[in-house]
Amino acid sequence: MLLLGAVQVGCSAAPPQDKPQPAGSARVVNVTAAPSAAASTRPTDRWAGAKPVVVGGGEILGCRGERSSDWLRVTCDEEANVFGRAPSFAAVSSEHIDKGIAEAEVRDDGATVALRWTPGADVVATFNFDGTPVILLARWPAGGPEPEVGARFRGVPDFSASDLARELCKCDSLYPPDERDALCENSELGALYTSPLECLRGPADVDSIVCASWQLCARSSPSGSAVCLPEEVHTGHCPSCACSLACGPDQACPPGLECTESHLRKENVCTFSEP
């Protein structure tokens, strides 16, 4: 069976969890290690009775949201997602951790970000999905009503991985004929399929995907069919991706990423910090 590889932005490994971080840098709280100060002061019953909330783009990433009192939590631990595996780490800024308004936890089966959800909240977090930085934005404008969707993954479409896989497996050349029929009947296709996110941003919904355009983008990136966001540059920075987050003096990288020079273009892009 043909499986397309997930995007590898930056093409560098995630930093070790015990690496010292300079002041102002991102910090990863690893719950498999000794408890951190943030972890040791966390109320054990904070999430008792938590209610589910919508996270924009969460379905295709295997992520879910929960709300408990004035806290919001996003957990990504489902392998049935567009990358075919759960994230290996998550990061929030050390400033937010020190102020007690955000936390990041890493486990063997995924990662979680929790944050204080009150007017004025503005938290940016980075999840590492198989080498791809996926950015979570959680913003509640001061003085405004609570947003219907409080947290959203930047540039991630709002359809599920299983629906995507069932639609794409109908493409004639995607799978061998003897495998295609069986795969299309499998309700767990999300666990069997991966695809670059920038190749999925164009269609309004999963039923609008055009096989030829998607295959050109997914197999021949960088190509014109990849859809980069305004804050991204079209770099083709790694074998199966075409868009990288731009950075510079006026545009800092999200937590867990550092600004480096692109190998293919004379532009600075955000990549995972070196070990």
Mean pLDDT by 10 residues, the chain (275 residues): 31 39 42 37 72 93 93 90 86 94 93 95 94 92 90 89 73 63 57 67 76 72 68 67 83 93 76 73
Residues 268, 178 share a domain: yes
Does a structural domain hold residue 12?
no
Domain count, the chain: 2
Predicted model pTM: 0.77
Residues 149 and 165 in one domain: no
Distance CA 100, CA 249 (A): 28
- Calpha distance 227→57 (Å, rounded): 16
Residues 258 and 233 in one domain: yes
Structural domain harbouring 40:
17-153
> Looking at residue 165, what is its pLDDT?
73
Q: Examine the domain organization and report whether 136 and 190 are in the same domain.
A: no
Residue 256: CA atoms inside 13 Å, Cβ hemisphere, count?
28
Residue 263 lies in a domain: yes
Of 128, 153, 178, the residue that ends a domain is 153
Instruction: Please identify, among 125, 153, 181, the residue that sits at the C-terminal boundary of a domain.
Output: 153
Asked if residue 74 is part of any domain, the answer here is yes
Residue 28: per-residue pLDDT: 45
Residue finishing a domain among 136, 153, 170: 153
Residues 142, 250 within the same domain: no
| C-alpha distances out from residue 173 to 176, 182, 189, 199, Å | 7, 15, 17, 17
Interatomic CA distance for residues 169 and 185, integer angstroms? 10
Question: What is the predicted pLDDT for the residue at 110?
Answer: 94
Same structural domain for residues 146 and 223? no
168 and 83 in one domain? no
Separation CA 274–CA 272 (nearest Å):
6
Q: Give yes or no: residues 144 and 241 share one domain.
A: no
